[in-house]
Amino acid sequence: HLVVTSEFSKASLHYLHGVPNDHMSVLPLPVDLDLFRPSPLDIRTHSLNICWLGRIVPRKRFDLFLEAALMAIQKGVNLHITVLGDEKLIPGYRQMIAAFPHQSRLTWIREPIPRKEVPFLLAYQDVVIQPSEDEDLGSGPLEAQACGLPIIVGPKSGNADYLSQRDVRLPNYQAAYLYSAID
């Protein structure tokens, strides 16, 4: 019997490998709710603060994230972007970040952050965005939800099993849809 973290994972294993549905159970990743909880401080700013949390790799669609953020800024959204993650596996992302035309609206923290500091950094955010493709279950979005933040996830994401009414699951991987969710 297999234990998987989402209905998306279960469906993928069934479709790709023929694992019978009755041979699998779904149990989400655990989240430390003593550490990841809504902040008692009101430290939000006047801008919309969007956050990328996690590794920067092709399937997580960082390109889509930056394209939609640029669209939002160009259409007048008072936006600040925080990127908490590194691009060590794909160094070309460093150039993509350096080429972003609104550097004053982007904060990139590449260095590993102690897990106990992540909730403090999330307290400054308004939404966490992870438009990943074929995401089993992203721990970053789960932790953001535990901190009281809405999340925006891609259409092929196990996180969709755990969305609230404040969260958004994108209908497809087009920047216009992500921009609309941000707006």
Distance between start and end Cα atoms, the chain: 43
Q: What is the pLDDT of residues 104-142, one digit of tens each?
A: 999 999 888 898 999 999 999 999 999 999 998 999 999
Q: Which two three-digit tokens encode residue 95?
A: 């150039």
Of 104, 145, 125, nearest to 49 by C-alpha is 125
Residue 51, pLDDT score = 97
Helices 175-182 and 62-74: angle between axes, nearest 10 degrees:
60
* Secondary structure (3-state) at 5: coil
**What's the whole-number average pLDDT of the chain?**
93
Sign of CA dihedral 102, 104, 108, 113: negative
Whether residue 42 has pLDDT greater than 80: no
Span 142-155, pLDDT tens digits: 999 999 999 999 99
For 8-33, write each residue's pLDDT tens digit. Answer: 999 999 999 999 999 999 998 899 99
What is the per-residue pLDDT for 1?
A: 94
